[in-house]
Structures are given as C-alpha cells and as structure tokens.
Amino acid sequence: MRLTVAQALVRFLAAQHVERDGEAHPFFAGCFGIFGHGNVAGMGQALQQHADVLPYHQARNEQAMVHVASGYARQRNRLATFACTTSVGPGATNMVTGAALATINRLPVLLLPGDTFATRTPHPVLQQLEAPHDASLSVNDCLRPVSRFFERVERPEQLVPAALEAMRVLTDPVDTGAVTLALPEDVQTEAFEVPDAFLEERTWTVYRRPPAPEALARAAAMIRGAERPLIVAGGGVIYSAATAALRALADATGIPVAETQAGRGALASEHPMSLGAVGATGTAAANRLAYDADLVIGVGTRWSDFTTASKSAFQAPHVRFINVNVAAFDAAKHSGLPVEADARVALDALREALAGWRADAAWSARATDEARAFGEEVARLVAPTEGLPHQAAVIGAINDAAGETGVVVCAAGSAPGDLHKLWRARDPEGKGYHVEYGYSCMGYEIPGGMGVKLAAPERDVFVLVGDGSYLMMPGDLATAVAEGIGIVAVIVDNGGYASIGALSRSLGSAGFGTHYRRAENGGPPLDAADASGPAAPLRASHVDLAANAESLGLRVLRVKTILELRDALDEARRDDGPVAVHIEVDRYAGVPDYEGWWDVPVAEVSDDEAVRAARAEYERARAAQRQYVETP
C-alpha cells in the first residue's frame, strides 16, 4: 500500500501491542503534539486522517508533553506510553529535558521531532542550526545522549527498520527510556510502498527473566549467612508487579524492607517489616538499620546517590550487596553479587530457596520497633500547628484524602524529601506514590500528574507542586482543562526556592538567590546563616499563583489552614475537572534529617566564617563515605 512516511508511522504505532503475563493491550495511548512547519503537513495530516486509531492531544509546551508520557508510562508500569510529535527547531529541543527525565527514570517515551530537509534544498530553513563543519548536524542531535535509541529517517524505506528498533527498545525493561525518531519535514510527506506486515497488529512480549540457578543459590547462601540482612526495594519491584512477592518474602523471612524514591510504597507502611524511606531523605528507622546491616539486598534499584546517602548509609565493616535487577548494569553496582532477573520471579525464587530460614529474631524485632517509633514521629510532624501551616501537615492532609487508592505526584523542591519520609503508603500495588526523583525536574509535577490521571482515571491524583516548580511550567494546566484531566494540584506557596534556601544556609551561604525578589526591590533580606532561619516566618511571594491558575481555566480553592485544606481536598477530588488548591506554608518549618547526608561540596577557602565552618563540617561528614568494594 502506498502511504506517506507519516501515515505509515501513525498506522504502525496504532497497531503495536504489549503483553506480559498473558495480558495484551495497545502500547500507545495516543500522540501528544504541537504543530509547526516541521510537522503540520506530515505528522499533522497523518494524525488527522487516522485520529480514530491514534488519538491526538494538543499540548502547550513540548517538554510538558514528554512529562505527560513519562507520568503515564510509570503509572502503567512501563507497559504503555504516548508518542510526542514536534516541529523542527525549538519545539524539538524543548523535549531534551523531558527525554533526559524519561531515560534517567527508565520510562518509555517515543519522541518524533521534525527535522530539517533531507533534500537540503531550502537550507537553512526556518529554525535550522547551521554547522559549517558538518551538514548532517541538526539541533535534534541534542537528543542523542538522552535517548536510548536515536534514528534520523532520511529515506522512506528506512522507517520500517527504524520503527521496529524503536519498539524493541521501548518495550525492553533493560533498555527502555526515551526513543527518538527524527523525521525530516520533507520525508514525512513522501510516499512509499509499505509492506503489509508492517501495518499489521504486532505484539511485543515482556518475558519475565528467571535468575541463573547458580546466582540464586549464591544469593540464598549469602542471605542464610547474614546476621543483619536488609532489603532495599526500588522502582523495579513496582514495575514488575512484585509487591505481593516482596511482602511474602518479608513475611516468610523477617528481613526488613527499606525503600528508594521510585520504590516507595513497594511494601505498605503498616507492614511490621516496613522501614520506609532510606538514604539522604530516609527515616530514622531505615537509616539506623542501614547503618548496621551486613548484607544489603537491592531489588530493582539503580542505587542513586540519595539511596546510599552519598555512600555513607551502610557502615557495617565489610557490608556486602546482592543486586536483583533485570539490567546487568545495575546488578553489578557496589561490587554486589549480580542476580540478573525479573524482580517478581527472583523474589519468589528467593523465598523458596530460603524456606524454613528466618532472619535473627532480634534484628526483625528491632525493625518493627524502629518502624513503630518513626510512625509516631510522622504523626507528630503531620499534626496541624498554630500559625502559618507547615508543609508536613499539608502532606498529612493529602495522605488522608488519598486514602488507599489516591496517588500523590511530586518531583522537586523540599516536598520530595518530606514525602519520602512522611508518606504512609497504603496501595497494595505501590501505585499511590509517584515522586520523580531520578531527574528531580521542576515543572514535572503538573504534566506528570496529568499523565498519571490519564493512566488511572479511576484514582484521585494529587499533584503537590511548590511555587517555584509551578512557575516553571504552569501552561499545561490549560491542557488539563481542555482535555478534562481531573487532577487536584495543591500549590504549596512558600515564597521561593525554600529547599535550596535551606541547603544554602546549611552550607554557610545565607539562602542567597533563593527568594524571588531582591532586597533592594522590596524582597526579604538574606536569611540568617544558620539552619533555623529568621525568627519570624516570611509571608510568601508577590506572585498570585491562585489567580494564575484561575486564569488558565481552573477552579481554584484558596485555603489558609489545614482544616480548610482538608475540606478543600475532599471537595476537589469530587470534582471531575482539574482543581487547584492554594495554600501558603511556613518557609522555615522543615522536616528534620534522620541521620541522612548528601554530598554537596562546600568552598574550600572563603572569607566568610559561616562557609569555613560549613566546610569543616563537610569534611567531617565526608570521612564516612565508603566505596563498597568488598568481594562478594
């Protein structure tokens, strides 16, 4: 059949299915896009013609639409996503940040940027980068380092192998991430004889890879020989739908479980072995057990710097690691014993291999005691206080409104650390907690939350967004209104970049550059150079974020107290359309650190006494860093 490249691609995408555990469904939920001269006639025409098989959704910012796809993919356990089409030039480069986020978080997204003419005739076309030394370069080459697969389709026939390669990578749990097919604007519109088979329904099966028997036996022997084993559950546990297998292993063995950001909620907080967050933003319970653990069993984690508290969290002499992971790259980290396998299969196999064995009863009991004590600490922190509300109490209110099935979405600022520590996870499949912390990208919150809501319309989706993150990318709230995506965006206004302000103060730099307005323009003076900040809490910013959200078409609820917030959340979640809830919080009321640390280097020389003191403290803390190079 003779079709244009764009028509063939759209029909191909609509025909792709993915299957796991015998369940198959379409891989692409649709295509987000913003049209320009680089895609309006090619992809635009094809999407119009085939709107019945691949629905089109208009976005307001290309970065945001990639975030929507990432949020969607994560909520669907990476078994479905959106395609994203852009024009050539700025529309395409706007996707670079979204691509990096997807690739770092190992989430499948398909990017279809327009590209400059393959014929080279109108060169330099509008928005073209000219590289005198290399005529084949275009701005789309920025997408290469942030894509797991990149191809520029310069001839129509090339689409066939390129599209198949794209699907291989997108559906592979090891390789997945952003995939880019750059489409020169002339090639999009060129027709070719498309093989029938290319357009037929195709199912990509995600097989569950079992561990090598020898690797499993070694892992079981190491666990049996351990005195203080600890599981660290990562996002892979949730993506693999292995939360029940994790719970069964914890029940059978009494091994305590700590969680990364992506793995948060893998084990419900009520479980006696659930220690919650570990690492730089960890709970006292998890970090104390991590300190003493002699064997750490990472499951589906890529061991980000935060998880190990910059390699200071695990302090037992000769602490060893076992890494259960589908990706050899991650399984080899920390000179651990690599167990390359699907998380669910491996957890079930470990439970069988450990039948009859239990961890030392005193160690398990310590986990339960610490978890209970930290639960009391959480209750203390989320309780409403006098005066300006605290962010912790906002989190407590959202947690209650979310119940067992609601989802909280967040990405950057002070909230991710607070959520990691404070959130009581209740959803048995771990789908109630969605903090993007691989890239911790300001601006992800709103579009990411829209993706979650599109993936799970039956759930209430609460987006917790700081004023700074809000200002970076509010525009796609207009998309949420236009498309009827009923998120609840809780705008937590503390008048600037409070998290970085606190970090700056702790490093001796007095919160420099983290308030919106300069002091000479009526903004607040620099903070006191100590971690407690000024005595009187400063009122939030001069920007009326509630009015901003209203102007984009949202219903907005303005609240002043936690009691009002609770009512507003209840009202908002009953509303079908998107609702924003605006609340001012105390910029200086942070949640404490619980023996977590983060390596942020401090100036080695300075005229400032506060910086010199911070450097001395930094050097003391850095002495605890380890390399984890034991022989397994």
Ligand X SMILES: Cc1ncc(C[n+]2csc(CCOP(=O)(O)OP(=O)(O)O)c2C)c(N)n1
Beta strands in 214-330 (DSSP E): 229-233, 257-259, 274-277, 295-299, 320-325
Q: What is the CA radius of gyration of the chain?
A: 25
Give the shortest CB-98-to-ligand X separation in angstroms.
Answer: 11
Q: Look up residue 40 and give its amino acid.
A: V
Question: Would you say 6 and 58 are in contact if contact means Cβ atoms under 8 Å apart?
Answer: no
Select the span of 58-66, 129-137, 370-378, 493-501 touching Mg ion (CB under 5 A): 493-501
Residue 246 site contact among ligand X, Mg ion, none (CB < 5 to 8 Å, cut-off depends on kind)? none
CB of 278 to ligand X, least distance (A): 21
Cα→Cα distances 202→14, 24, 151, 398, Å: 10, 11, 21, 41
> Residue 33 binds which entry of Mg ion, ligand X, none, with Cβ cut-offs from 5 to 8 Å by kind?
none
Query: Between 16 and 494, whose beta carbon lies closer to Mg ion?
Result: 494
Return the number of the residue (184 or 468) whose C-beta is nearest ligand X. 468
User: Of the two residues 378 and 442, which places its CB atom closer to ligand X in the complex?
Assistant: 442
Quick one: what does residue 499 bind among Mg ion, ligand X, none, with the CB cut-off 5 to 8 Å set by partner type?
ligand X
Q: Which is nearer to ligand X, 40 or 410 (CB)?
A: 410
Query: Of these partners, ligand X, Mg ion, none, which one is at the site of residue 415 (CB under 5 to 8 Å by kind)?
Result: ligand X
Nearer to ligand X, 13 or 442 (CB): 442
* Smallest gap from residue 444 Cβ to Mg ion (A): 15
Residue 39 interacts, among Mg ion, ligand X, none and using kind-specific CB cut-offs from 5 to 8 Å, with: none
- Closest contact distance (angstroms) between CB of 279 and ligand X is 17
Question: Among all residues, whose Cβ is closest to Mg ion?
Answer: 466
Burial (CB < 10 A; 0-12, 13-18, 19+), residue 130, is exposed
The distance of closest approach from Cβ of residue 389 to ligand X in the complex, given in angstroms and rounded to an integer, is 14
Rounded to the nearest whole angstrom, what is the least distance from the CB of residue 281 to Mg ion in the complex? Answer: 17
Report in angstroms how near the CB of residue 481 gets to ligand X at its nearest.
22
SS3 483: helix
Maximum pairwise Cα distance, the chain: 75
Closest approach, Cβ 443 to ligand X, in A, equals: 6
Interatomic CA distance for residues 423 and 427, integer angstroms: 12
Closer residue to Mg ion (CB): 431 or 587:
587
User: Mind spelling out the 3-state secondary structure of 68-92?
Assistant: HHHHHHHHCCCCCEEEEEECCCHHH
Instruction: State the distance between the two ends of the chain, measured CA to CA, in whole angstroms.
Output: 58
Least distance to ligand X from the beta carbon of 391, Å? 7
Range in contact with Mg ion (rule: CB under 5 A) among 34-42, 80-88, 474-482, 492-500? 492-500
Taking a C-beta distance cutoff of 8 angstroms, is the pair 89, 65 a contact?
no
The least distance separating ligand X from the CB of residue 446, rounded to whole angstroms, comes to: 11
- Per-residue x/- mask for Mg ion, residues 458 to 487, rule CB under 5 A? --------xxx-------------------
Say whether 625 sits in a helix, a strand or coil: coil
Instruction: Report the candidate in 482, 438, 436 with the shortest Cα–Cα distance to residue 463.
Output: 436
Residue 494 touches Mg ion, criterion: CB under 5 A: yes
SS3 114: strand
| HSE of 625, CA atoms in CB hemisphere, 13 A | 15
Cα dihedral sign, 545-547-550-556: positive
Distance CA 336, CA 599 (A): 22
Supply the minimum distance, in Å, between the C-beta of residue 148 and ligand X. 21
Q: Please state the closest distance from residue 439 (CB atom) to Mg ion, in A.
A: 18
Closer CB to ligand X, 503 or 613, in the complex: 503
Q: Which is nearer to ligand X, 307 or 469 (CB)?
A: 469
Which residue lies nearer to Mg ion by CB, 321 or 588? 588
Q: Buried b vs exposed e over 459-486: b needs ≥16 C-beta within 10 Å?
A: bbbbbbbbbbbbbbbbbbbbbbbebebb
Looking at this protein, which amino acid is placed at residue 474? P
Pairing of strands 191-193, 2-4: antiparallel
Show the site string, 531-570: x = touches Mg ion by CB under 5 A, - = not. Answer: ----------------------------------------
x/- map, 296-335, Mg ion, by CB under 5 A: ----------------------------------------
Q: Look at residue 29 and give its three-state secondary structure.
A: strand
Measured from the CB atom, the residue of 248 and 543 that comes closer to Mg ion is 543
**Whole-number Cα distances in Å, 319 to 290, 597, 631:** 10, 19, 10
Q: How far is the CB of 469 from ligand X (least distance, A)?
A: 4
* Of 221-229, 312-320, 435-443, 495-503: span binding Mg ion (CB under 5 A): 495-503
Question: What are the structure tokens assigned to 366, written together?
Answer: 């310590």
Q: Which two tokens stand for residue 360?
A: 């030392």
Q: How far is the CB of 462 from Mg ion (least distance, A)?
A: 17
Contact partner at residue 440 from Mg ion, ligand X, none, CB < 5 to 8 Å by partner kind = ligand X
Please identify, using beta-carbon distances, which residue of 38 and 438 lies nearer to ligand X: 438
- Identify which of residues 211 and 413 has a Cβ nearer to ligand X in the complex: 413
Site size with Mg ion, rule: CB under 5 A: 5
CA nearest 341: which of 358, 327, 320, 355? Answer: 327
Name which of ligand X, Mg ion, none residue 442 binds, using a CB cut-off of 5 to 8 Å depending on partner kind. Answer: ligand X
Q: Which does 412 bind (CB under 5 to 8 A by kind): Mg ion, ligand X, none?
A: ligand X
Select 220 or 540, whichever has its Cβ closest to ligand X: 540
Candidates 315, 306, 206; CA nearest to 263 is 306
Write out 553-616 in H/E/C secondary structure. CCEEEEECCHHHHHHHHHHHHHCCCCEEEEEECCCCCCCCCCCCCCCCCCCCCCCCHHHHHHHH
Please identify which residue in 498, 556, 557, 569 interacts with Mg ion, judged by CB under 5 A. Answer: 498
Residue placing its CB nearer to ligand X in the complex, 114 or 448: 448
Q: Which spans of this chain sit near ligand X (rule: CB under 6 A)? A: 412-415, 440-443, 466-469, 494, 497-500
Name which of Mg ion, ligand X, none residue 414 binds, using a CB cut-off of 5 to 8 Å depending on partner kind: ligand X
Q: Which two tokens stand for residue 539?
A: 């009122």
- Contacting residues for 564 by C-beta, under 8 A, at least 6 apart: none
Q: What's the min distance (Å) between Cβ of 415 and Mg ion? A: 9
* Residue closer to Mg ion, measured from CB, 370 or 467: 467
- Can you tell me the distance from the alpha carbon of 145 to that of 99, in angstroms, rounded to the nearest whole number? 9
Number of C-beta neighbours around residue 164 at 10 A: 14
Q: Where along the sequence are the contacts to Mg ion (CB under 5 A)?
A: 466-468, 494, 498
